[in-house]
Amino acid sequence: MLEVNNLHVHLDTPAGLVKAVDGVSFRLEAGQTIGIVGESGSGKSVLAHSLTKLNPEPPATYPKGEILFEGENILTMDKKRLRNLRGKEIAMIFQDPMSSLNPVFRIGRQLMEAIQTHQKLPKKEARQKAIELLIDVGIPDPERRMQDYPHQFSGGMRQRVLIAIALAARPKLLIADEPTTALDVTIQAQIIELLKSIQKKYGTSIIMITHDLGVVANLADRILVMYAGKIVESGSTADIFYDTAMPYTWSLLRSIPRLDAGASERLLHIEGHPPNLIHPPKGCNFHPRCPFARDACLQTDPPLAERGTNHMAACILTKPEFDKEKRAVAERKGVLLS
């Protein structure tokens, strides 16, 4: 359904050219959920915004690559077609639900606008549809809540309203950019359940962008791990968690505190911080922080290579080498191997 081929997105900033997305390719099938995982500055949000060409231009440019949505290239689409595509076929929800809603209009009006933009419906029917959508996303007492302004909603409820707006035109693809990051954990659980039930009901494909490995463990069929503008590992959720093939993914999994872990376990200390993309490191982007790094990592920037069925990783270590090294690193750093 969606095919991204060798996408490059550059941001032209006063400090220099940032290669925010640097040669990313992936495919998404209908009804699938893909999780894109990365830290801040990894390029995951720029990638997500590229999918509907939402990055402000300038500074963004798309020097290379293509994004095919059902065979059509989004990057070369004319403005009218793009407008029609956004919201109708591909919808987005964002991290901060307050800044995505207009504070001076009632929720009902904003929701009806979303409905009437894409469907020619009389006001009465649009209103009825808006109420149905609010019921769909679990907002109690929807008829009364239609009259409320965004500030009268809590964070979790606002995110539900945004999901309702996103669903207004029954999009085929929903892109969710850190939709639960600003929410409390019990509210996050509610939103995750909601997204799952929507997918079941309508068969919507979802691209879930997050820094939280727990969230994708629950939701995603496939996971892309991003680091410094590149995909460094991609595979099924089980591959990524149980058959990790890239040092960054492996280190990340061992650096997060876990609720199901014992007291004595130490967190893996990943040195330094994510690189500055104006002056990326030589060779492999991760080598300055990589516990597995060797001299050769300075020379080559490894491409994504096959590690199993639909499982790719960007590392010069072969699978047996990596497995052997893992044991040594885990022992040296005093962290859990598996």
Partner 1 sequence: MTALLEIKDLHVHFPIKNGVLQKTTGHVKALNGIDLNVKKGEILGIVGESGCGKSTLARSIVGLQKPTSGDILFDGNTYTDASAKELYELRRNMQMVFQDPYTSLNPRMKVSESIAAPLKAYKKTKNLESRVKELMELVGLNPDDHYNRLPHEFSGGQRQRIGIARAIALEPQLIVCDEPVSALDVSVQAQVINLFQDLQKKLDLTYVFIAHDLSVINHIADRVAVMYLGKVMERSNRESFQTHAQHPYTNALLSAVPLPDPDKERARERIVLKGELPSPANPPSGCVFHTRCPKATEFCKTNIPVPEERGVPGQEVACFYPVGAEEKARITL
Q: Contact, 31 vs 57, CB < 8 A? A: no
15 binds partner 1 (CB under 8 A): no
**Among 184, 246, 192, which residue's Cα sits nearest to residue 214?**
192
Which one of residues 214, 280, 281, 288 is an interface residue with partner 1 (CB under 8 A)?
214
Site string for partner 1, 171-190 (x = CB under 8 A): -------------xxxxxxx
211 binds partner 1 (CB under 8 A): yes
Residue 275 and residue 280: Cα distance in Å, rounded? Answer: 6
Residue 102 and residue 105: Cα distance in Å, rounded? Answer: 6
Q: Nearer to partner 1 by C-beta: 273 or 319? A: 273
| DSSP character at residue 281 | P
Residue 123 and residue 26: Cα distance in Å, rounded? Answer: 41
Is the Cα dihedral 1, 45, 213, 167 positive or negative?
negative
Sheet of strand 2-13, all strands in order from the earlier edge strand to the far edge: 16-28, 2-13, 60-69, 72-73
119 binds partner 1 (CB under 8 A): no
Interior CA angle at 232 toward 326 and 310, to 5°? 90
Q: How far is the CB of 81 from partner 1 (least distance, A)?
A: 38
Q: Nearer to partner 1 by C-beta: 93 or 213? A: 213
Q: Nearer to partner 1 by C-beta: 82 or 253? A: 253
Q: Hey, which residues between 226 and 285 contact partner 1 (CB under 8 A)?
A: 237-238, 241, 251-253, 255-261, 263, 266-271, 273-274
Q: How far is the CB of 41 from partner 1 (least distance, A)?
A: 8
199 binds partner 1 (CB under 8 A): no
Q: Nearer to partner 1 by C-beta: 40 or 299? A: 40
Residue 2 β-bridge partners = 28, 69
82 binds partner 1 (CB under 8 A): no
**Is the bond into 59 cis (omega within 30 degrees of 0)?**
yes
Which one of residues 5, 25, 39, 84 is an interface residue with partner 1 (CB under 8 A)?
39
User: Total binding residues for partner 1 by CB under 8 A?
Assistant: 44
Q: Hey, which residues between 128 and 167 contact partner 1 (CB under 8 A)?
A: 154, 156-157
Tokens of 163: 């999901």
Q: What's the one-letter identity of residue 129?
A: K
Site for partner 1, rule CB under 8 A: 39-40, 154, 156-157, 184-190, 192-193, 211-215, 217-218, 237-238, 241, 251-253, 255-261, 263, 266-271, 273-274, 289
